[in-house]
Amino acid sequence: MSMERKEILACPKCGHKQDFVIWQSLNGDIDPVAKQQLLDGELFNFKCEECGNISNVDYPILYHDMTHEAMIYYVDENSVEQAYQAMVGAENKIGIEMSGYRRRIVTKQNSLREKAIIFDYGLDDRVIEIIKLIYHTNANDQVSDVKIDDVYFLVSDDKYLLAFIGDKPLSVEVPVSLYDDIKKDFSERFNLMGDKEPIIDYSWALKLFSN
């Protein structure tokens, strides 16, 4: 199920007040319109009906993808442990069998969107993080004068893309064959590890290669 509430917010530009939907939990299978807003990067956008200004509204949310058996909790960095405990107890609250579920915790809106896209395409986010690490390392070597703050995975016209966020926005297409090769190469290791790690990110990928 999804849980939402409406709040009256004021436009930070003109002061106009209007309703805004805040999702405490969002089930993408039940609410496909809101799911698409998340995938498009628009779920947290507050568009003023008066002046048209678009601002960002930040709030924690639990995203649920029943089709691909995944749950993603977006929280601030100080609430990660609390989010983990909430996800552990989510089976009783939501009333579903979660033994095969991937449970993830993210602390950035873009990371929530990224994970939702990855799972929506039936992909493994562990493989994606390895690919991001490889490309990030190569980019730092090749364009050392450009600061890269983050790297995000996107899909456009069924093409896998990496978007580099920093001084100079960059994007690069990732061959599907690379994803397939890495998934195959790490399949045995992934099977031994299981898929219960709640935080799969750049640091996780670095740790994987250091072990």
pLDDT in the model for residue 95 = 52
- The tens digit of pLDDT for each residue in 115-138 reads 999 999 999 999 999 999 999 999
Q: Rounded to whole angstroms, how far apart are CA atoms 131 and 142?
A: 16
Q: How far apart are the first and last CA of the chain?
A: 40
Q: Provide the H-helix boundaries in 40-175.
A: 80-88, 90-94, 109-120, 125-142
pLDDT in the model for residue 88 = 75
pLDDT in the model for residue 147 = 86
- Residue 27, beta-bridge partner list: 64
- The tens digit of pLDDT for each residue in 167-211 reads 888 899 999 999 999 999 999 999 999 888 999 999 999 999 987
- The tens digit of pLDDT for each residue in 80-97 reads 999 988 877 765 565 555
pLDDT in the model for residue 210 = 87
Spans of all domains in the chain: 3-120, 125-210
**With bands split at pLDDT 50, 70 and 90, how would you rate the model's confidence at 108?**
very high
Q: What are phi and psi of 14, to 5 degrees?
A: -115, -10
Q: Rounded to whole angstroms, how far apart are CA atoms 190 and 102?
A: 13
pLDDT, mean of residues 31-36: 98
pLDDT in the model for residue 27 = 98
Q: CB-based contacts of 7: which residues, under 8 Å, 6+ apart?
A: 19, 20, 22
Could you count the other beta carbons within 10 Å of the beta carbon of residue 180? 11
pLDDT in the model for residue 155 = 97
- The tens digit of pLDDT for each residue in 146-164 reads 788 999 999 999 999 999 9
